[in-house]
Structure 1
Amino acid sequence: MPRSVRLLLAALAAVALLVPGLAVQVPPAHAGVQVFFVSTTGSDSNPGTSAQPWRSINFAAQRTGVVGPGDFVVVRGGTYEEIVDVKVSGSADADITFMEQPGQNVVISGEGRDLIGQRGLINIRNESHLVFDGFELTDFAGVHPVDDTPVGVRVEGTPSGLTLQNLDIHDISAAGYGGGRVGNAHGIAVYGTSGGTPISGLTIANNHVHDLRLGTSEAIVVNGNVRGWTIVGNTVERVDNIAIDAIGFEGTAGSNDQARMGVIANNVIDDVDTADNPGYDNCACAAGIYVDGGRDIIIQRNRVSRADLGIEIGAESRKRGAAATGILVRNNLVEDTEQGGLTMGGYAADRGAVRDVRVVNNTFVEPDNLRKGYGLVYLNFNLSRVRMVNNVLAISLGGKILTGYAKDTGRMSFAGNRWFAATRPAGATLWTLRGKDIRGYKRWKAATGETKGSYGTPKLGADRAPAAGSPLINRGVPVDAGTTDLAGNPRKVGPIDIGAFEVQ
């Protein structure tokens, strides 16, 4: 296991403690800490006090020398039609916090705003040690497909110590949906553009990102030289392209061009579909979670449903050495997907590679609603050193459980998985590996050397956890499945259950 992944695993317990109920409380003003206020009834000529608040969030965000480390900017309820370009920074031991007045709703609206190029309703470029907590960001649309990219929050450069939490981001739209070329849009976009200094210490937590028209882009993305980040506890739903993406080798940074050492955990993703996206010609090809050339990333305890593809590990770049490596997929539930639950590898022979992937104690069920024949697990090109352990892999609508036609698939190992096809006879062709069809579990076991695996109904309850008497209980092989299951319950000491849930 790479040292960077071990460090991430050690940090996960701390991350888990931070997420539930994550919110900032307004402190009383005291020496060294100031609390400033913004209101729709204020004026930017005011001193920014509770009695005489400022009018503009953007004005507050540019008060360098006034708003400083440890300070709070409290925004009172109402709609603010403005673009916020942040110019202030906190310090390593004292963030600047921008937050809603507790109990009030603040809307930052792009209605009527002119969009030139790639802009966010909130823009952070190189500024560090900031918290944005609790705003609604909405009504922002592109006009010119080639030039315009509207974003809820856009981060770029070399900032560190940023927290984006409890945001409600919706109704942001790329240009071109009325005809012509389709553009791009994001809910949250983070671009590490410096080859020398990464964006670091980034937390994207407990946000609701929904009802976005993304064109050819993603709802939440970290791209380029971004190192040490967490995307945790978010709900992403009703988006027409990829929900969460970690990208490398796209040319965002001159070197170190990989999102890496990241954690994607405890997110709920639903209704991710490119069918009505004019940029994809009716292709159902958007993943709930996608690693595109990223490195040393943990994907765990997420729930993905009704996506075109559940979880995808790939590398689209044709650049020399482009690869997604060191990916751990653990304790996730992927269900009711259009084409497949798990896809791994470059999607063409001349694209990047995928190496060193561990897929451990996940539950993949009900794939291929479109019946395209991709299989619950689909293996693409340039794939090697993959280990799949203790997963539930069950289909009910026909087709195959695993499909891989690429003959360059490298070393793969399997152990303790539970395979099942409810509407197919046990001797049917349920697997294709390196272009060869495999009939029946005995032949699969002989072809792959799977140890302690089995074929048959997993006997799941309505929540996809093992029902009473399930053959999954206490049948898992020893593996690092983490300390807690998808539901947050502890994994047992000794034989664990197969799949994402541990019966208590």
Structure 2
Amino acid sequence: MLKQIAICTLVIGLITGGVQAGSYEPLAIQPAEAAVATYYVAPDGNDTESGMLNAPWKTLQHAADQAQPGSTIYVRGGVYRQQLHITRSGNAQLGAITFARYKQEQPILDGTGLAVDGLQGMVRIDNASYITIDGFEIRNYTTTRTGNVPAGISVMGAGGYIRLLNNHIHHIANTASPQGEELSGRDAHGIAIYGTKAPSALHHLTIRGNELDHLVLGSSESIALNGNVTDFEVANNRVHDNDNIGIDVIGFEQTAPDPTYDAVRNGRITGNVVFNITSNRNPSYGRNLPNNSNGAAGIYVDGGRNIVIERNRSYSNDIGIEIASEHKGKSTSAITARSNVVYSNRYTGIGIGGYDPERGMATDCVIMNNTLVGNDTLSNEPGDGAGQLLIQYGTSRNVIENNILSASPTGVLIYNEYASSGNKLDYNLYHTPGGADEAWWTWHGKVYESLAAFQKGSKQEQHAIFKNPMFVNAKLANYRLSAGSPAIDSGLVDTKRIGTLDMAGQPRVSGKAVNRGAYE
């Protein structure tokens, strides 16, 4: 599954310090309010003018070259066949340098015909801090050459307090033609965050309220954080209809020069809606195979550490959420996936661990209070498929509790082919549409056809139940719980792991009780 092909030979690394999994809170990133100037850019402007509202500049680059800390550049509506390269920084005292749309007008950065050189964004931020990009449409930046990587927005090097807000990024593409069975170097990104320095990191990043769709990514990702990146939030974005991974947090790919810093870490992925993400028929994974890959996750952590994935909706992807490591001997660790709704994904709902023995591991992670429904849609054959929860190679000391797992017609609930060490499963609610006679668990390669047999054979799930969770309206993907649901108030109260809010933003703990699944 997974990316399988690395985009570049760039690295980062794993810092062993940081907050405990599940406790990350994004730090305040707003600097002092002390803007020194406001400027304007318009399609009919002139760079020899003053840059004021009645005498706007014509090019974004001219504005970037003039901007000082605290400057706001308002961009009027219209189409700009221009790129923006930002190297100047704002600061904490005077404020960020902000590029924003003017009122309700829509500025469009259109890359039609513009050259791509290496990994390059239509908006490119290099080694800068205190930068805000807000409200742009970015489109049509493409290449037909391998080795060049177009992106809607790229952030490279080191720096901090960068905010990418409310942008619509679409039709970014690498359409290089395959010359054989597979094609490496056919890559593109919607948003690319690459921490390429050490020890200086890219830090305090906010990616919020963006929409990314119709991207042709090859072996890359819609939103990628890779390298020496720390203290981040990816929140409330819509990511859909792309041909590879939706949101990816990456480690161990030689993106920073010092392997000590070889992992993205200390962040939160929250409130995102991710759908129609598939690598099926993506030529980077083999062009001659029907339904060839089905390995693209809506949300994927590959080598990250100390990250919370919560309150996301991930559906109709190849994989809903994946917590893994693609690099042998390396571990993704201290990841918490909680209060997510994951449904109708083709291969599996949540996967954890390396996808084969040549990959890495997933250790000390938490999968808690998620609702997994009707995933594993590639087959209708009873007992066939990867189920709602796929436990792969190299998993140890992971906690899987308080989840609802409602199977697809295959009846497969958990598929675990490999031996594991110290994983703990308990307080999960299981359900199959065909009843208890059509339920399947595979544990350490052995198949069990009843919850009682699974409990006895695995020595897990002392407090599990097999009952209909009584969703409000499963046909309409409303997975809230009806009155009388056996999931209500029957979960384990574990305040260190479950978080403060459920999927709907309601308090997670009600009195002294907690529901199973994503909703209170």
What is the TM-score of this pair, normalised by structure 2?
0.89
Change in Cα spacing, 1:417 to 1:37, as seen in structure 2 (3 Å) is: same
Matches within 5 A, 1:369-388: 369-371=377-379, 373-388=385-400
Post-superposition offset of 1:493: 2.6
| 1:471 equivalent in structure 2 | 486
| 1:412 equivalent in structure 2 | 423
The partner residue of 1:347 within 347, 355, 358 is 355
| 1:120–1:154 CA contact under 8 A, matched in 2 | yes
Paired with 1:57 and 1:164, the residues of 2 have a C-alpha distance of 17
1:490 aligns with 2:500: no
| 2:24–2:268 CA contact under 8 A, matched in 1 | no
Paired with 1:58 and 1:178, the residues of 2 have a C-alpha distance of 36
What is the TM-score of this pair, normalised by structure 1?
0.92
Query: 2:502 is matched by which residue type in structure 1?
Result: D
| 1:287–1:307 CA contact under 8 A, matched in 2 | yes
Residue-by-residue CA offset, 1:329-386 (whole Å, 9 max, x unaligned): 1100001111100111011212211100111100000011112611211111111111
Post-superposition offset of 1:178: 7.7
Partner SS state of residue 441, structure 2: strand
Paired with 2:20 and 2:395, the residues of 1 have a C-alpha distance of 23
Post-superposition offset of 1:115: 1.5
1:198 aligns with 2:201: yes
Paired with 2:222 and 2:293, the residues of 1 have a C-alpha distance of 18
Matches within 5 A, 1:10-89: 11=25, 33-63=36-66, 67-89=67-89
| 2:20–2:334 CA contact under 8 A, matched in 1 | no
Q: Tell me the percent identity.
A: 34
1:323 aligns with 2:331: yes
1:422 aligns with 2:433: yes
Partner SS state of residue 445, structure 1: helix
Partner SS state of residue 447, structure 2: strand
Change in Cα spacing, 1:264 to 1:469, as seen in structure 2 (3 Å) is: same
The partner residue of 1:280 within 285, 301, 305 is 285
| 2:432–2:438 CA contact under 8 A, matched in 1 | no
Residue-by-residue CA offset, 1:165-184 (whole Å, 9 max, x unaligned): 00000011113258763610
The partner residue of 2:271 within 256, 261, 266 is 266
Paired with 1:59 and 1:258, the residues of 2 have a C-alpha distance of 36
> Could you say which structure has the greater relative contact order, defined with CA pairs below 8 angstroms and 6 or more residues apart?
2
Residue-by-residue CA offset, 1:36-74 (whole Å, 9 max, x unaligned): 1111111112221112111001121122xxx21111011
| 2:21–2:307 CA contact under 8 A, matched in 1 | no
Q: Structure 1: 5+ residue runs without aligned partners?
A: none
Partner SS state of residue 401, structure 1: strand
1:458 aligns with 2:461: no
Change in Cα spacing, 1:75 to 1:178, as seen in structure 2 (3 Å) is: farther
Paired with 1:367 and 1:332, the residues of 2 have a C-alpha distance of 14
Query: 2:153 is matched by which residue type in structure 1?
Result: V
Change in Cα spacing, 1:311 to 1:472, as seen in structure 2 (3 Å) is: same
1:225 aligns with 2:228: yes
| 2:111–2:141 CA contact under 8 A, matched in 1 | yes
1:391 aligns with 2:403: yes
Change in Cα spacing, 1:166 to 1:304, as seen in structure 2 (3 Å) is: same
The partner residue of 2:251 within 248, 251, 262 is 248
Partner SS state of residue 482, structure 1: coil
Partner SS state of residue 88, structure 1: coil
Paired with 2:105 and 2:462, the residues of 1 have a C-alpha distance of 56
Query: 2:338 is matched by which residue type in structure 1?
Result: R
| 2:24–2:308 CA contact under 8 A, matched in 1 | no
| 1:248–1:257 CA contact under 8 A, matched in 2 | yes
Post-superposition offset of 1:412: 1.2
Paired with 2:158 and 2:170, the residues of 1 have a C-alpha distance of 27
Matches within 5 A, 1:439-458: 439-446=449-456, 447-458=458-469
| 2:13 equivalent in structure 1 | none
Partner SS state of residue 59, structure 1: helix
Paired with 1:427 and 1:115, the residues of 2 have a C-alpha distance of 57
Post-superposition offset of 1:9: 2.7
Partner SS state of residue 403, structure 1: strand
Partner SS state of residue 487, structure 2: coil
Change in Cα spacing, 1:104 to 1:420, as seen in structure 2 (3 Å) is: same
| 1:414–1:448 CA contact under 8 A, matched in 2 | no
Query: 1:278 is matched by which residue type in structure 2?
Result: P
Paired with 1:346 and 1:310, the residues of 2 have a C-alpha distance of 16
Query: 1:493 is matched by which residue type in structure 2?
Result: G
Deviates further, 451-460 or 126-135: 451-460
Aligned residue pairs total 481
Partner SS state of residue 455, structure 2: helix
Post-superposition offset of 1:195: 2.3
Paired with 1:149 and 1:246, the residues of 2 have a C-alpha distance of 18
- Over the residues paired in the alignment, what is the CA RMSD in angstroms? 2.1
Post-superposition offset of 1:134: 0.3
| 1:100 equivalent in structure 2 | 101
